[in-house]
Amino acid sequence: MSKYDPLWEYIKANDISKLTFYEIEKIAGVPIDHSFLKYKKELGEYGYTVGKISMKEQTVTFKRLDIGLT
């Protein structure tokens, strides 16, 4: 289990497309740090990917993967 699993589950359950750093920290229960870049690839297992990380706006966008569509 990863420290970001609660976040990934929240994104999948609520079809989230954008969250602030503050919201991510609140949902995950841990401060967002550089390790987020390593853990973000886990999100694919939940059917999503990390889109854009904006340091200026302090937001992260998420995109739903089109799994199985051909």
Portion of the chain with pLDDT greater than 90, in percent: 90
pTM value is 0.88
Instruction: Indicate if the pLDDT at residue 69 is higher than 70.
Output: no
> What's the pLDDT at 1?
80
Q: What are phi and psi of 60, to 5 degrees?
A: -130, 130
Q: What are phi and psi of 67, to 5 degrees?
A: -80, 130
∠ Cα 30 37 34 (to 5°): 55
**What's the Cα-to-Cα distance from 12 to each of 50, 51, 57, rounded to whole Å?**
12, 15, 23
> What's the pLDDT at 68?
59
pLDDT-derived band of residue 66, with 50, 70 and 90 as boundaries? confident
Give CA–CA dist 70/58, Å, rounded. Answer: 35
Instruction: Indicate if the pLDDT at residue 15 is higher than 80.
Output: yes
Mean pLDDT of the 13-34 span = 96
